[in-house]
């Protein structure tokens, strides 16, 4: 999905912070403003910068007080992007992609969106095989674009490169279901004690491994709450929680509202 907003006010309302269930790349084409999120980041934005929105991360962004801005955005989701996040290629710690030199982001986003348009035959029918192929091309093109803009001219906020150890740790913790490895199992796979694993992960990632995994689980929950009819009890079981009560309690702690309120808001666009 690709859309443009002229004379926009950013995320409204500003409080409570918004939690979005999918990824989004938001290119600011006119104006300036700021971005804040639950981790404490408070970053300035100007025309030419792009905001990379991560599912499940509470955030807000918008133009400077008393002004408006124009934006172009594309919404996307899927395991390919989740794997890049787990590996640290894209990171919530670096949500702002500064003005790119030599990369026409607006033209590229428009081109990617057009790649996925349905092509119908003389009877007006869209062929499933062709649609699947086009959507696959979209994913590949978007990954390529993200790779280009994340690697060209990194900003001050983007100088930290995740280590191979961090990438392996995040890949292990990215398994959000009950079949995923425990923290003890992950530590053994990395050849360290559980205590060392917790300390090193916290030092290099900035958040405890248990909380990091809990947030990935909540991202999965947000996606399923929007795009499926799964019950809260089924969701709790899928994500490895003891029961619906414990899942709902943890969801509210991390997202700010109960699963039922989240599902109602996201489906009614409120």
Contact 189, 165 (CB under 8 A): no
Q: Which CATH architecture has domain 2-154?
A: Sandwich (2.60)
Nearest to 268 by CA among 217, 220, 226, 215: 226
Domain range list for the chain: 2-154, 164-268
Count other Cβ atoms within 10 Å, centred on residue 214.
20
Token code pair at residue 253: 């702690």
Quote the strand ranges of the chain, DSSP E: 2-8, 23-30, 32-37, 42-46, 50-53, 59-63, 69-76, 96-97
- By DSSP bridging, strand 32-37 and strand 59-63 are antiparallel
Task: Quote the CA–CA distance of 122 and 100 in Å, as a whole number.
Answer: 42
Average pLDDT over residues 131-148: 72
Nearest to 189 by CA among 205, 170, 203, 169: 169
| CA atoms 63, 67, 73, 76: torsion sign | positive
Task: Quote the CA–CA distance of 134 and 118 in Å, as a whole number.
Answer: 8
Query: Which residues have C-beta within 8 Å of that of residue 204, sequence separation ≥ 6?
Result: 162, 163, 165, 166
* Dihedral pair phi/psi, residue 13, rounded to 5°: -75, 165
Tens-place pLDDT, residues 141-158: 777 777 777 655 444 344
What pLDDT score was predicted for residue 13?
86
- DSSP conformation class of 50: E
Does the structural domain 164-268 have CATH classification 1.10.10.60? Answer: yes
* Average pLDDT of the chain, as a whole number: 81
Do 2-154 and 164-268 share a fold? no
State yes or no: pLDDT of 232 exceeds 80.
yes
Contact 171, 205 (CB under 8 A): no
Task: Quote the CA–CA distance of 92 and 72 in Å, as a whole number.
Answer: 20
Token code pair at residue 216: 């990935």
* Dihedral pair phi/psi, residue 224, rounded to 5°: -70, -35
Average pLDDT over residues 22-46: 91
Q: In the structure, what pLDDT confidence band is assigned to residue 97 with cuts at 50, 70 and 90?
A: confident
Kindly state the percentage of the chain with pLDDT values over 90.
27
* Dihedral pair phi/psi, residue 24, rounded to 5°: -150, 145
Token code pair at residue 93: 């710690």
| Higher local confidence (pLDDT), 191 or 164 | 191
Nearest to 95 by CA among 158, 63, 51, 55: 51
Count other Cβ atoms within 10 Å, centred on residue 121.
9
Contact 255, 58 (CB under 8 A): yes
Omega of the bond leading into 16 within 30 degrees of 0 (cis): yes
Tens-place pLDDT, residues 44-58: 999 989 999 998 888
* pTM listed for this prediction: 0.56
Residue length, the chain? 270
């Amino acid at each position: 999905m690709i859309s443009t907003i002229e004379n926009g006010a950013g995320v409204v309302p500003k409080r409570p912070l918004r939690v979005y269930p999918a990824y989004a790349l938001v290119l600011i084409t006119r104006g300036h403003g700021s971005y804040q999120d639950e981790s404490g980041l408070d970053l300035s934005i100007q025309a030419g910068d792009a905001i990379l929105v991560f599912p499940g991360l509470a955030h807000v962004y918008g133009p400077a007080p008393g002004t408006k801005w124009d934006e172009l955005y594309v919404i996307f989701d899927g395991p390919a992007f989740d794997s890049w996040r787990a590996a640290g290629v894209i990171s919530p710690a670096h949500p702002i992609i500064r003005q790119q030199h030599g990369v026409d982001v607006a033209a590229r986003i428009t081109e990617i969106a057009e790649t996925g348009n349905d092509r119908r035959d003389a009877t007006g029918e869209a062929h499933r095989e062709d649609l699947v192929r086009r959507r696959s091309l979209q994913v590949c093109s978007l990954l390529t674009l993200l790779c280009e803009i994340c690697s060209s001219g990194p900003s001050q906020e983007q100088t930290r490169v995740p280590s191979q150890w961090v990438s392996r740790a995040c890949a292990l913790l990215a398994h959000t279901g009950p079949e995923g490895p425990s923290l003890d199992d992950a530590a053994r796979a990395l050849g360290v004690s559980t205590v060392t694993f917790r300390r090193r992960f916290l030092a290099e990632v900035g958040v405890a491994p248990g909380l990091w995994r809990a947030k990935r689980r909540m991202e999965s929950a947000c996606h399923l709450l929007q795009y499926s009819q799964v019950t809260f009890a089924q969701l709790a079981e899928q994500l490895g929680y003891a029961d619906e009560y414990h899942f709902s309690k943890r969801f509210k702690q991390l997202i700010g509202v109960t699963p039922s309120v989240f599902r109602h808001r996201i489906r009614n666009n409120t």
